[in-house]
Amino acid sequence: MEHREKDDSFPPGYLAAWQSLIEGLPDPAMVIGLDFRIILANEAQARLLGRSRDEIVGEFCYRLLHGAEAPPPFCPHVLTQEKGRAQSAQFYEEPLGHVRVTVSPLKGQDGQVLAVFHLINGLDTLEKTREDLLQLEARYRAMIEGFEGFLYICSSDYRIEFMNRAMRSWLGPSGLGRPCYEVIFGQKDVCSWCPNSRVLKGETVRWEIQNPVDRRWYYVISTPISYPEGTSSVMILLLDITRRKELEDSLLKSEIKYRTLVEDVPVGLYWSTLEGEILEANQALVDLLRYPDRQSLLKANAGDLYLDQEDRHRLLRLLKSQGAVSSFETRLRTFTGQTVWVRISARLVKEGEQIFLRGAIEDIDSIKKTELALKESETRFRAISQMAPDAIVLMDKEGRIIFWNEAARRIFGYSAQEALGQELHLFLAPEKYHQRYSRAFERFKTTGQSRLSGKTLEFTAVRKDGSEFPIEVSLSLLRYQNEPVFLGIIRDISLRKRAEEEIRRRGAILEAISLAAGRFLRANIDRQTLSDVLSRLGQATLADLVLFLEIPLSGEAIFRPCCSWSPRGPSSVTLSEGPVTLGPDLWRRLKAPGSEPFWGSADHLPPREREIFRKMDISSLIFVPVLAGDRPWGVLLFGYQQTRPWSLSESEALKAAADIIGAALFRERVEQELLKMEKLRSLELLAGGIAHDFNNILTAILGNVSLAKVLDKDGRLSQILDQLEKASLQARNLTQQLLTFAKSSVPVKRREDIGRLLTETVEFSLSGSNVKARFEIAPNLWAVEVDQAQITQVIQNLVVNAKQAMPQGGTLEVRAENVLIDRGEDIPFAAGAYVRLLIRDEGVGIPADLLDKIFDPYFTTKQEGSGLGLAIVHSIVSKHGGWIEVDSVPGEGTTFAIYLPALKGQAPDREEPPETAFRGQGKVLIMDDERLVRETLGSMLEALGYEVMFARDGQEALELYQTALEAGCRFDLVIMDLTIRGGMGGRETIERLREMDPQVKAIVSSGYSDDPVMSDFRRYGFLDVVAKPYRMGELIEVLKRISPSVAAN
């Protein structure tokens, strides 16, 4: 008989335990509720009443036992409820006979009576009481021993008096007589949670606990036992509920995990009725529909969210007919009034008699917009591709052409009808590459990967007429109509390749020129130096022979072979040391004023020379006059075994090289002639003249390098051009050194990156030597304001001294760091922020008695030294507001420390290439007596967008300016050289121009940076100044500073 629990006040398992207890009793027994309804009855009770237990349970006890409609006045049940303790009564009732009823209250944890236990004994058999009691005890014992739970009885002092079999198996027989808190719970004293004090007062307590000994959970029922003699004990029942606890914990974790999963999933999830009531939704759906919170969404109706109500009805029809729908696309209205494309997957769920709708909503708004954009893009692609200058070709996964635009027809010569369906690599590539392309494409089809995808590469292609030409191909792997396709953009780069080759050759020549300039500035013109220069020029021009033929001082039409170079070695040059003639025609061209390089054939030479060149397989020649002023000094001859085309820019570069050699030869001869003159004056004049000449030459070099960088659109030659520009800037610095050496010029300061300047100057000064530099440059070095040329001279002088101090080679330590000098320090200069430069060598060192003299003018320990190097270093540093110190240990090395005032916390200016971002407008008049300078500056200005005219001197400039004024098309700007040989210079010309036109705008340019006009140009009527030599960027910066009518960005 299963018990029936009709009251929620009973703890879990409580009635089941009592049902088990009373079932083993021989006497009738019942558990009756407070409303007098029978809750439990054993089999003996059913036999006593002659009814089944199903008929008994649920009936009122007074109806079944007494046949009455209310409890009798002697009813012990009523007294037990009222008094809360056990009661008994005797009565006679048909068909029960004489009986005694013992009634005990069953109490909850709070001490309240939950039900009443009834035990009925027949008095007619009292004589058998003793035997019955014995039997009852045996049954009770059997029942308790057979109980699966743990049961024990303890006394009021917590000592165990009885244990059932399960308890003895757990604790062993030694548990009897010992405190329960010690044996069961491992405590040294009464457990803090123990309810026995309440139980001994008559309360039945039910509770749960996790045993600290075995860590298992138990449901515990503690019930009082009262003995006739007045003592009490406590019966404790322990049911192991560990498994239930684990299931509860697992269920809680599962619920949390499920809730987390639902909330974390990026797809909107919902639960609603068919009428549209939203019962539940996750946060993703709240975010998708732009609702402020979940409660706001739950108040909305699903039907109102649809932009098109017909979509809602169609979805419901599909659900009712199919039970589930997936990938249903529609547009929903968000809380903010916007619309969003979504994809809905839903199914009907039945719970009881009600049908619900459960589904997921995915945001596909961006996908839909992308699809529309793709359709528009395809339309635009076809329209644009037909107008594109480059060939645009699409290929399918087999490599067959599926799209061929008009530019492809123009470049390759095939019509679209001829090209479509052809395999691209077999159709357009030279036959020698077919196998390689086929293997690569097969590998792609097998692996799905291509090394060409996403890259821009150069190939050789073949036209319809069979001619081969270079192309640039950019390949991209796309998906079109769910299939992989290749998009190829093909550009004919024939013209660019020719231009690149020309730029490369010119750049190589200019680099050789720059290096030659440096060599000539640092060394005398001897045979070895000249051979090195010819070697570099020959390698740059890919010549088979380079000769320098010198004209003797007598001026006769004969040449003396001075130096030669050939890639095949000196033995391949068969010219003797005797005189060489080139014939009257070549001689007249060389002697003509302003003679330019010209080409010729070895067949036009005199017979002797023609035979010499024939033996060396030289057939094509280019002659470059070497002039010093207007006087021819010799000729540079470049010979080739085959005819070679020459561009005008290459020819001008060779002319610049010849001018450098001529200037160097002129310098050497002038030096020899002026040795008799006063030393310092001669050096001043020589340095000024050479600096001016070199500045003119370097202006052409730097200007052409700047133009080359502008023309080099894809940056393929950027590294070469950058190196060439750096070398040219070093050469410019050398000219500034000459001026500084000759005259006490005031520093022209600007903010500089001293770390970069230090590194580049040291590396340049040590190039080709056996001394290596070790740099330690502080990463956040402060900016300094210095004259770059003068500080470069300081660094070079110190590095050269260090290099000479280490003839066997070694390491030069170079450091740059920020320092703060306090006022309290013993210093020879003002406190503040400085950048300290340290240059330490491993050389022989300086004796202590000479340290105080090394900065004195003309003091030197070297036989060939001038004694001015360190004196100039000291002068330059002092003029910059800095200080120089020296420390030296003979045999270990020397350290120079330079302190330069710094701009604390300010980073140095970074050079930015403005050439590609600047465009100008207007008419510019250039006045310079050097044709190379005029043409170079003109090319630079034309590249920037200006219209240019030229004048060789001031008189010609005045005439051109007057003509322009009379024609009403005045010049927007005049750029004039300060010094004109044999003519009117810039200083006088600007005065005449201002008389002619007070509004004239003029810029002064010169290689003499220490001229007062250059340092105070506005006083003389100029708007700005640009010092020779200059780069495109420096020219642009000057143009930006003047009137907007001349410069426009």
pLDDT digit string, tens, across residues 378-387: 777 777 777 7
The predicted pLDDT at position 629 comes to 58
Backbone phi and psi for residue 191, each to the nearest 5 degrees, phi listed first: -65, 140
The dihedral over CA atoms of 1019, 1023, 1024, 1028, expressed in degrees to the nearest 10, equals -90
Mind listing the pLDDT tens digit for each residue in 336-350?
A: 999 999 999 899 988
Amino acid identity for residue 865 in this structure: G
Q: For residue 277, what are the contacts with CB-CB under 8 A and spacing of at least 6?
A: 301, 302
The predicted pLDDT at position 824 comes to 44
DSSP-derived letter for residue 559 is B
Mind listing the pLDDT tens digit for each residue in 1025-1039?
A: 988 887 888 888 888
1033 contacts 910 by C-beta, under 8 angstroms: no
The predicted pLDDT at position 314 comes to 93
Residue 176 has pLDDT above 80, yes or no: yes
State the average pLDDT over residues 577-581.
60
Mind listing the pLDDT tens digit for each residue in 756-786?
A: 999 999 998 888 889 999 999 998 999 999 8
Torsion sign over Cα 670, 675, 677, 681: positive
State the average pLDDT over residues 299-323.
91
Of 992, 990, 994, which is closest to residue 978 (Cα–Cα)?
990
Of 759, 881, 777, which is closest to residue 821 (Cα–Cα)?
881
The predicted pLDDT at position 308 comes to 92
Question: What's the pLDDT band for 671 if we cut at 50, 70, 90?
Answer: low
The tokens describing 129, both together, are: 């009481």
Q: What residues are paired with 233 via a beta bridge?
A: 155, 225
Tokens 């007598």 belong to 554
Residue 1004 has pLDDT above 60, yes or no: yes
Tokens 């003639």 belong to 581
Higher-scoring residue by pLDDT: 904, 165: 165
Residue 7 has pLDDT above 60, yes or no: no
**What is the spatial distance between Cα 553 and Cα 566, in angstroms, rounded to a whole number?**
27
**What is the spatial distance between Cα 818 and Cα 834, in angstroms, rounded to a whole number?**
6
Greatest mean pLDDT among 360-364, 427-431, 689-693, 924-928 lies in 924-928
Residue 6 has pLDDT above 50, yes or no: no
Buried b (16+ CB within 10 A) or exposed e, 214-237: eeebbbbbbbbeeeeeeeebbbbb
State the average pLDDT over residues 295-303.
90
Q: What residues are paired with 620 via a beta bridge?
A: 601, 640
157 contacts 178 by C-beta, under 8 angstroms: no
Cis upstream peptide for 266 (omega within 30°):
no
State the average pLDDT over residues 319-340.
91
**What is the spatial distance between Cα 97 and Cα 493, in angstroms, rounded to a whole number?**
126
Indicate the range of 589-603, 660-674, 955-969 predicted with least confidence.
660-674
The predicted pLDDT at position 1021 comes to 92
Tokens 């390491």 belong to 811
Outline where DSSP puts E strands in 186-231.
205-210, 217-226
The predicted pLDDT at position 40 comes to 92
Q: What residues are paired with 740 via a beta bridge?
A: none
**What structural domains and CATH numbers belong to the chain?**
14-242 (3.30.450.20), 265-363 (3.30.450.20), 373-492 (3.30.450.20), 495-542+646-735 (no CATH), 543-643 (3.30.450.40), 754-903 (3.30.565.10), 916-1048 (3.40.50.2300)
CA dist list (Å): 409 to 386, 434, 482, 499, 933: 10, 21, 28, 24, 45
Outline where DSSP puts E strands in 769-809.
771-777, 783-786
User: Long-range contacts for 204-213 (Cβ within 8 Å, ≥24 apart)?
Assistant: 204/106, 204/107, 204/108, 204/109, 205/109, 206/11, 206/14, 206/108, 206/109, 207/109, 208/241, 211/184, 211/185, 212/185, 212/186, 212/187, 213/184, 213/185, 213/186
The predicted pLDDT at position 451 comes to 66
Q: What residues are paired with 777 via a beta bridge?
A: 816
Please tell me the total number of residues recorded for the chain in this structure: 1049
Question: What's the pLDDT band for 823 if we cut at 50, 70, 90?
Answer: low
Backbone angle region of 158, left / alpha / beta, with phi > 0 → left and psi within -120 to 50 → alpha: left
- CB 389: neighbour CB atoms within 10 A? 10
The predicted pLDDT at position 666 comes to 72
498 contacts 470 by C-beta, under 8 angstroms: no
Percent of the chain whose predicted confidence (pLDDT) is above 70: 79
Question: What's the pLDDT band for 1 if we cut at 50, 70, 90?
Answer: very low
Residue 914 has pLDDT above 60, yes or no: no
Q: How far apart are the first and last CA of the chain?
A: 103
Greatest mean pLDDT among 6-20, 53-67, 647-661 lies in 53-67
Question: What's the pLDDT band for 375 if we cut at 50, 70, 90?
Answer: confident
Greatest mean pLDDT among 32-41, 438-447, 525-534, 824-833 lies in 32-41
Percent of the chain whose predicted confidence (pLDDT) is above 90: 17
State the average pLDDT over residues 283-291.
90
Mind listing the pLDDT tens digit for each residue in 119-155?
A: 887 665 544 555 655 666 666 677 677 677 888 889 8
Say if pTM beats, i.e. exceeds, 0.85. Answer: no
Average pLDDT over the chain reads 80
Q: For residue 162, what are the contacts with CB-CB under 8 A and spacing of at least 6?
A: 152, 153, 176
State the average pLDDT over residues 710-739.
67
**What is the spatial distance between Cα 1008 and Cα 308, in angstroms, rounded to a whole number?**
83
Question: What's the pLDDT band for 687 if we cut at 50, 70, 90?
Answer: low
Cis upstream peptide for 72 (omega within 30°):
no
Indicate the range of 683-697, 896-910, 1007-1021 predicted with least confidence.
683-697
How many helices (H) and strands (E) in the chain? 33, 39
DSSP-derived letter for residue 617 is T
Q: For residue 252, what are the contacts with CB-CB under 8 A and spacing of at least 6?
A: none
Instruction: State how beta strands 947-951 and 923-927 pair.
Output: parallel
CA dist list (Å): 586 to 551, 653, 700, 760, 772: 13, 21, 27, 44, 48
State the average pLDDT over residues 277-289.
89
Indicate the range of 163-172, 481-490, 524-533, 784-793 predicted with least confidence.
524-533
- HSE-CB of 52 using CA atoms within 13 angstroms: 4
DSSP-derived letter for residue 781 is P
The predicted pLDDT at position 744 comes to 45
Question: What's the pLDDT band for 554 if we cut at 50, 70, 90?
Answer: very low
